[in-house]
Structure 1
Amino acid sequence: MRDPVGRHTRRSGEYVRPQQRIYLDDYCRASGDFFASGTYYHQDVLRGFPAGQKVEAELVPEPHNPWDARAVALDVEGQRVAYLPAVSAKMWHDVIRGWNTAGFAVYCGAEINAWEGGDAKCRVGLTVPKWDWETLVALAEAVGLRVSWEAALADLTEAQRTLLRRDRGYSPDERVIRAMQKKRAHHPEFRWGAEDDGDLTERMPFWYGYFVREQMREEARQEEELVQYARSVRSGLLRAFTAEVRRAREREREQARLLRQDQDDRALRLQHEGRRVSDIAAELGLSPKQVEAAVSRARRAAGITVRGNAGLQSDRRRDAAEAVRLKRSGMTRAQVARAMERSADTVDELLKDGLFYAAPEDHPERLALARRCLGLRATGLGKEEILGRLGVSRKQALRAFRDASLLDAER
């Protein structure tokens, strides 16, 4: 009578070897090797092989082993020579049984080795590869252990599944383990440890706990992906909002620029009409300084370049002389302002400058202030310090500074 989930007879435990073979060497990446266990009890068989010989070892599960219900033996040429260590056997037992049930005997490469024992006798052992964990998991899933575990999990209540997850599958609530153990006959793909193997947690199939932890890792990964997605959506919305705010600010700046440009053009046009700075300021709702700045910007935008100091002095003298000429021709100041496209305030200053430039001696107070300013400039003082030392209003001090430049140019 065959065991329906293995290749062992139920009564005798005799192993019936499947006809097909699967070689772990074709799938696993070895990360070293280790000495198999139990070789001490199989020296007679092992001594039949020369040391260093490469052999093919079959992994044989022993569900009826009286010392370890999840033992995995190693057979070479059909003879028992060793065992996997108990920790490894716990992981490999259900995997090997699954492949046996599917009709495959599982083999791996191994090597016979010999050394001198403590009793001076030559001992023979078996070295097997250390298989990589990823391949073991892949083989377990390929043989259907994950599907079987999901079926076993479905037999539990929601409360029991919660308790199983709470301890991440390492040390679940004993009530849950007992519930799974009672239904172990429904899921023969998994082998429980014998009573002598320890408490219920130790006897629970290895893959029960592993798949619980794997599921929790997958759920955590999915949750992290959701969190990352939410963050990316939030970040995208924030970028879109920030971009919209930036565009709105750019539109506001553009509107402000257009309004200022319109204001500058109006200021320049009013000046050309001969309006005073104070009148322009009142009409546009600006201060006199803002009007002057607006006119300056408008002149630059119109392509009227600002000339150097010498050029400005020459232009000033020319404009002053022109203002005097137009005034003497019978024009009113407003008419002169319109003719020269200057404000009335500017024309007033040009007329005063024109009379002074024509005959400085006729304006002794202004001439004296200009000479005093010229003397201060000769000492190397800065402009602002000179203006402060003149002891007059800033408007008069600036005019004296211009006059000093004129006197200096005429020397």
Structure 2
Amino acid sequence: MWSLFTKRAPAVALTAPPRNAPDYLPLPDDGRFPVAGESHYQPALFAAARGQVAGQEFDEHLPVTAALTPEPENEWDHHAVRVDVLIDGKPFRVGYLPRELAAEYQPSLLALGERGFVGTCAARITGGGERFYGIYLHLSRPRDLQVALGLAEPFVARRVEGAVLLRNDWSCRVTQEHAHQDVLARYAPAPGGEPRAVIASLSFCRIGSGKYRGQEAIEVRLDGARVGELTHAMSQRYGDRVRALTGQGLSVTCAAFTIRTAKGVEVELRMPPGR
């Protein structure tokens, strides 16, 4: 049995990657992602775990702090992001972000490095004893990390001259489409086909009937033609954001889909997170 699977210190000496003392910056940690290649760095994980064996449950996994260092010079993957664990304040390599994740995270981490910081996040070690050690990270999604670091706008996915496209995190239904079936017929999916992708523009109108009659709502248009509006609740949720953007002279757009239903053609918007 390898010595690194016992409670004795591992036989392989650990060497911290050479670097000047960095300034570490904790990153948002509301996600969970794996680390790749950790089987090649068992001595470092043994040392970080202090030789302990992690239990099977989440609360029994061993908490540590990980540091994320982009490696654009990496000959195997120019998008690589190295994962170190901090042992007594010093970084020791324990693996890399999986290739598909590294490509999304590296730009933010490079921008952070230009400010003189190395990002850190909470992590947990699994395994030990008769099993290999493993490790996973608590880290926000790439887009949320960009927003937290001030590298992206919270609700805008893309800006072009005179217009913005909102983020498309979740679905938001449109109401009053029944009054605009003549317009929606031009955007209907093929019979029996998949929903049709379109781009909707958002402006403001007044609610014409019901409990909230006369109050402001967000109007939905396709190629300038009205096809409905958001409910009062959704208009309240997004009104300030849309108003702030239109107040800058910008056209506000979002991804949308048209759907055939028994009631006719309906519209589903893709919108940013709620408040």
Is TM-score (shorter-chain normalized) higher than 0.5? no
More strand by share: 2
Is the radius of gyration larger for structure 1 or structure 2?
1
More helix by share: 1
If the TM-score is normalised by the length of the shorter chain, which range does it land in?
0.3 to 0.5
- Specify which structure has the bigger relative contact order, considering alpha-carbon pairs within 8 angstroms and separated by 6 or more residues: 2
